[in-house]
Structures are given as structure tokens and as C-alpha cells.
Amino acid sequence: MTNGQPIPVIIDCDTGVDDALALLFAVRHPGIDLRAVTCVAGNTDVDGVVRNTLTVLERAGAPDVPVARGAERPLIEAPRSARHVHGHDGMGDLGLPAPRRSPADVDAVTLLRREILASPRPVTLVPTAPLTNIALLLRTHPEVTRNIERIVFMGGAAGAGNATPVAEFNVWHDPEAAAVLLTAGVPITMYGLDVFTRVVVPGAEVRRLRASAEPGTRLAGDLLAHRPAHPGSRPDDPAEDAGGLGDAGALCAVADPRGLTTHRLPVEVSLAPGPTRGQTVVDRRPRVGESELHEGVREQPLVEVGLDVDVERYVRLYLTTVERPSV
Ligand code: BDR
Ligand code: CA
């Protein structure tokens, strides 16, 4: 909430098991006013993302939130899905029914522009996917930044990557788009792998959600069970059902910013071909180095980089939110 009013939020996603967890949270949190959802190729192809997104919103009890189809491939790279993580349908192969409605009859960039400019209060934009739609929006309609409060994106890493040793999937999938995002000229928070991987719901809580009679709550449990926190664990291990919140943590950071510790740091995306492509180079040095002394200081965007997270606080926040009945 800001000044007692819910925060207007738009999510750009590639649903995606953990994007689905993020949607369930956003729909049910009383401090979030989810105004639209836009879809982009990432974890699976964009038509699969649209289908999964509509299905989750119906199951969550929010069938009227507008959804639009966006880019079907990155700006320059070929599309490279993550089905090995997210299942053949991109959302855990849970056997969910096809959605009853269709997406909006406008593309994602058009819907983003319309909803951002129509919002009575500045919007918080939350991309949890490759940043192709957002880069296209910023280049096509730069005027939208006047009604964007901030962008909280899941992507990047100050430390180790996942798609490569140094690059996180969403940034690696479309590095040029991520570079456009960083120079948007609005406040940006990076919810990267450094915090993303840490917020894990214990197995006992996941089992409780899965046993719920309420369909949205049960779906949250089934999705979490598809995100094993400890890939090496044995079937009789009590940690077996534990599941990471993933993208949903970025929504927790919107609803409850105090659970995330950020540092304002220069961040640059490596666009060079080769082993660093897609890396978010986060400058954590306490003082300038030889490069700046000899060649001068380069202008770089400053980003609030999430470096620590109150895990218990976000797990509690997630559970209390998804166990609320839909309003
Ligand atoms: C990110 O990539 C996707 O697999 C997840 O949904 C998340 O957005 C993690 O690197
Ligand atoms: Ca995602």
C-alpha cells in the first residue's frame, strides 16, 4: 500500500511455474492492484505463455485482468526455452484445463502503453521474464516513463549465474533488451539470483497448500512442489516438497519492500559475444580503480540491487496471501 491505497502493478511474464506463483500472489495481495499482464517468449513459446497466464488467472479467481500476447522471440537472439525446468507446457505439466477466454485483441506493447498511461497513479512495472516487451515499449512509447513509479525486475545476478556461469536466464535470453531496460530513466530494483534462490517454502507448508480445498491455494502448492529446493534430496527427506518462490519473491519485494536489502550500484549488461554475454556486471567496489583513474569514469545506470532478503518474512507473506480467499 502507498498512502492507504493499493499499488497499481503490471506484470510482464513468461509463465512459467514461478511466474504463476507470482500471479497468484499479485491477485490475492490486498496492497496490489493488478491492472494488466503481458506475455513474452521465455520459459516456453509465447502462445504457451498466454495460455498458462490465462489459466492461472482463472484459477486464482481473477478472470478479468487484461492479458496480451507480446514478443515471440528476443530482439537479436534466437528463442531458447527452459522447458527442462518448467515442463513441456512451460508450467509444470499439471494437467490444468485450457482457459475459457482469449487474450486482449491488442499486442503487449499497446496494452502496456494504454494501461500505464490510464492509471490514476504511477504504475510499478514488474517484469519476471526476458525483457523484450519492455525494451520495445520503451523504444516505441518513451512517454510511458512519466507514469511509471519504478520497475522491479527479476533478472541478473551480482554473483553466479544460472543460464551460464555468470548470466541469469532472463537477461541472457535477451541481453540487448535488458540493456535498454537499465537505461529507462526510472528507478529500477534488480531482484536477481542472489536473493531469488534463497526464498524457499518448507515442505510441510507446501503439503498444507496442496491439501487445500480452495483451487488457487492448491495450485500454489502444486507449483511449489514442482520447484524442488534441494535437487539431490531423497524421497523420504522432509525437505523433499520444499519449493522456491522464484519470481514471486519480486512481487513480495513490491508489497513489502522492507524485506529486501538493496544497494544502489552501477550495473551494466555484457553484450559481447563469448562467455560473459548476458552477465549483469555489478560494480561493488568501494572506490574507483585503475580503469577509472587512467580512462575516466564512465556513465552507468544506478540500480537498487537486492543483495539480502528476509527469507522467513517473505515465506510468511506469501503463505498468508495465497491462503486468502480471492476477493
Ligand atoms: C528466471 O528464469 C525463469 O526460468 C524463471 O521463471 C525466472 O524468471 C530465473 O533465471
Ligand atoms: Ca519468469
pLDDT value of residue 288: 86
Q: Is the pLDDT of residue 122 over 60?
A: yes
Stretch 282-303: mean pLDDT: 90
Asked if the structure places residue 275 within a domain, the reply is yes
Asked if the structure places residue 327 within a domain, the reply is no
Stretch 103-118: mean pLDDT: 98
What gap in Å lies between CA 285 and CA 72, rounded to an integer? Answer: 38
Instruction: Note whether 69 and 46 are within 8 A (CB).
Output: yes
Range with lowest mean pLDDT among 185-189, 192-196, 240-244 = 240-244
Asked if the structure places residue 2 within a domain, the reply is no
Instruction: Kindly give the distance from the C-alpha atom of residue 106 to the centroid of ligand 1, in angstroms, as a whole number.
Output: 26
- Cβ(222) – ligand 1 distance below 6 Å: no
Asked if the structure places residue 96 within a domain, the reply is yes
Give the range of the structural domain holding residue 211, as residue numbers without chain letter: 7-322
**Count of domains in the chain?**
1
Among the atoms of ligand 1, which is closest to the Cα of residue 162?
Answer: 10
Asked if the structure places residue 299 within a domain, the reply is yes
User: Which residues hold their Cβ within 5 A of ligand 2, which is an ion?
Assistant: 14, 16, 19, 128-129, 247
What gap in Å lies between CA 77 and CA 237, rounded to an integer? Answer: 41
Looking up residue 116, the CATH number of its domain turns out to be: 3.90.245.10
Pocket test of ligand 1: the residue of 18, 152, 280 to mutate, having most ligand atoms within 8 Å of its CB, is 18
pLDDT value of residue 326: 60
Asked if the structure places residue 121 within a domain, the reply is yes
pLDDT value of residue 97: 87
Grid cell locating 196: 531469488
Residues with Cβ within 8 Å of 304's Cβ and at least 6 positions away in sequence, in order, are 187, 188, 189, 190, 262, 263, 264
Q: Is the pLDDT of residue 151 over 90?
A: yes
Q: Measuring CA to CA, which residue among 271, 267, 268, 249 is closest to residue 304?
A: 267
With bands split at pLDDT 50, 70 and 90, how would you rate the model's confidence at 309? very high
Instruction: Kindly give the distance from the C-alpha atom of residue 154 to the centroid of ligand 2, in angstroms, as a whole number.
Output: 8
- Cβ(25) – ligand 1 distance below 6 Å: no
pLDDT value of residue 183: 95
Pocket test of ligand 1: the residue of 80, 84, 128 to mutate, having most ligand atoms within 8 Å of its CB, is 128
* CA-based torsion, 231, 234, 236, 239: positive or negative: negative
**What value does the mean pLDDT of the chain take?**
93
| pLDDT cut 90: percent of the chain above it | 80
Pairwise pLDDT comparison (146 vs 91), residue with the higher score: 146
Range with lowest mean pLDDT among 30-39, 86-95, 267-276 = 86-95
Q: What is the pLDDT of residues 217-250, one digit of tens each?
A: 999 999 999 876 655 555 445 557 899 999 999 9
Asked if the structure places residue 32 within a domain, the reply is yes
- Cβ(19) – ligand 1 distance below 6 Å: yes
Range with lowest mean pLDDT among 92-96, 127-131, 149-153, 169-173 = 92-96
Q: Is the pLDDT of residue 327 over 80?
A: no
pLDDT value of residue 239: 59
